[in-house]
Structure 1
Amino acid sequence: MILLVLIRRYLLLLTFLFPLQVLAEDNGIGESAAKPHKKAFETCLFKAIKAADKTATLAEIETYCEQQIARSIINKNNGKTLELGVLANRVIREKRTAADPYVLTPHKMNYILPLSMVDEINREAYQGFSDWADELKDVEAKFQISLKVPLLTDSLFREGDQIFFGFTLQSWWQIYSEEISKPFRETNYQPEFFYFTPISFHPFGGNSALVVGAEHQSNGRSQILSRGWNRVYVNYLYEKRNFALSLRPWYRIPESEKKSPSDGQGDDNPDILDYMGYFELGMLYKYDSEYELSFMGRNNFATHKGFVEFGLTFPLWGKLKGYAQISSGYGESLIDYNVNQKRFGIGIALTNLL
């Protein structure tokens, strides 16, 4: 369960982003790769400013030129008409703040659900460990914080590719359990390295990319409450207009068998694939710029166990957005990976996926 093992064994390579090398910095590193894009961007700006309507703002002209460069990278300049989708446009927006030290770039969705109701909790896991088991409540708070950092500014193997480090934290907080001092029942930590490259494959007029990555996920606990696993994955990304799709199969890196349940070394959850399956399917749709619908599903066709989650973001007031989430199945959290749960939560979205 040590991330360094992954780094030594594999080329750690993205998820759910289109980090196009649209505006590579001319900083002397990879200068030959950065200059063509910078020159093309400057040429586009010059022409667009001359031809633009007098009411057009500089930001609108910059966005237009960024999109033109992005199209040329994705489409390999083959002359076909190319429409950028929601993922590509998100990356263009992120590129503007990538070098700002005061801006944190989101990776997966960030949200807070002050009210999250579940029909079943793995109380058996806490038996004999603490007095929590009988006092845990089926209503708790849930939140997710997810950030990413680019590890290079120039293309590595192909034009438009990039490597990132990402970190995601999910926590389930028994905020309504006053009898046991409102503990954090479970927290899952997920560091990962991921690599992205666009591919010249445009089914149904959309855009495609491949992602290769490696990630570690654990709950940071010890002995009988310890859970964790390591995996490598390949992710196919597809976008068309306001729709995005992700298909991510994975391979679990094997661990040695534990000599005893309290042993600090070895596999904490050898049967986790029976419940988590071997792949994840995600779909997103952005409707009318105000609403975002999401779906995520996993399944093991041999055991017929899996997980589905639906999410909806919606406007509240100003820039604040609400978020509702409903899920059913196995593996929402590591401590509950082998427990069938149904959950509903509602709260606030700090960042959207699209």
Structure 2
Amino acid sequence: MKISLFFCLWFCVFAAPLWASDLTQGGPFEAQGPYLDQGLFEENYILPLTERAKAPQDGRTEEIQFRFSLYQKVELAQQRFYVAFTQTSFWQAYDLEHSRPFRETNYNPELFWATNPLEVLWHPWLHLGFEHESNGGREPYSRSWNRIYARLGLAGDHWKLRHKFFWRLSEPAKQYPLDPKGDENPEIVDYYGLNEMELVWTDEQKVWQLHGRFRYNLSKTRGASELNLTYPVGMNGTFLTLQYFQGYGESLSDYNHQVSKVGLGFSLNRP
């Protein structure tokens, strides 16, 4: 297991940036081309040092968190369609007593159409899509839901704004506790919210970047805030990353548990 951990860190810091350096620009989040056929989608990172204020139900306060996220353009009716996949894992690598298990992994495939209909100030763009999110577990630990969404974006010289509105596709209620066809998390919207706003600020030298992600449900006064502060560390496509999270929906299994945590590590790309 120590060898596996060493390999993950080595790949992220040294090897992966060489592969990723040409895949971080011109993607579906860019208002202007040229557009790449594939690349990095959401932030790809590894946070070897992550500390929670409270331990999860099945683990320690410290763990490793990592995410990889890719997209692929799909040719369909001469339109910009994309498929994307994001995987976020929470690894209890410091829990020697229980053989360093993975506490949770969330899988998030999606399909969306992208357009930038107006060549005007702030370069607006629009995504319309469908996404599924699951933890890949079996009953009674399975968690999943499906959504359709509209994501809007604007960009200035040193800032970016994204706002995502999503609507959950309803599922029938469970007929019995282990019913595989019933709704596994009927209250998830109450905690996760139906809106997600992202604000990105980069300094004039394009060195420091602050990326905020905010989810909210105004009627329930719940949601979450995530802040990422990044700084390039000299290797092409690698950024030192400090992440702070506060709120609900950190993972699917803990969507209704309030979490406060801070993490330190490296990212391969940033918005």
Question: Under a length normalisation based on structure 2, what TM-score does the superposition of the two structures give?
Answer: 0.85
Moved over 6 A (4+): none
RMSD (CA atoms):
2.1
Match of 1:326 in 2: 244
Q: 1:227 aligns with which of 115, 120, 143?
A: 143
* 1:193-241 per-position Cα deviation (integer Å, ceiling 9, x unaligned): 0111112274xx3111121010000000011211110000011111112
Is contact 1:305–1:330 with CA below 8 Å preserved after alignment? yes
Residue of 253, 257, 268 corresponding to 1:339: 257
| Cα distance in 1, alignment partners of residues 241 and 129 from structure 2 | 28
What is the CA-CA distance between 1:301 and the residue it aligns to?
Answer: 0.9
Alignment partners' CA distance in 2, 1:350 and 1:164: 21
Q: Which runs of 5+ in 2 are unaligned?
A: 1-24
- 1:269 and 2:185 aligned: yes
Find the counterpart in structure 2 of residue 149 from structure 1. Answer: 72
Tell me which of 81, 87, 96 is aligned to 2:30.
87
Q: Which amino acid aligns with 2:105?
A: T
Cross-structure match for 1:115: 49
Q: Which structure's CA Rg is the greater one?
A: 1
* Equivalent residue number for residue 213 of structure 1: 129
* Structure 1 position 198 matched with structure 2 position 116: yes
How many Å apart are 1:263 and its aligned residue? 2.1
Change (3 A) 1:341 1:149: same
Deviation of residue 121 (structure 1)? 4.4
1:303 aligns with 2:226: no
* Contact kept? 1:108, 1:147, Cα under 8 Å: yes
Aligned length: 246
Give 1:167-206 correspondences, 5 Å limit. 167-200=85-118, 202=120, 205-206=121-122
Which structure: greater helix fraction?
Answer: 1
**Which of the two has greater strand per residue?**
2
- Contact residue 122 and residue 335 of structure 1 kept, 8 A: no
- Which residue is equivalent to 1:279? 195
Q: Shift of the alpha carbon at 1:302?
A: 1.1
> What is the match of residue 255 of structure 1?
171
CA distance in 2: counterparts of 1:304 and 1:232, whole angstroms: 23
- For structure 1, which runs of at least 5 residues remain unmatched after alignment? 1-16, 21-85, 99-103, 124-132, 157-161
Partner of 2:13: none
Residue 137 of structure 1 aligns with an amino acid whose one-letter code is R
**What per-residue deviation string (whole Å, max 9, x for no partner) do you get for residues 174-200 of structure 1?**
000011100000000000001111122
Match of 1:39 in 2: none
User: Which residue number corresponds to residue 12 of structure 2?
Assistant: none
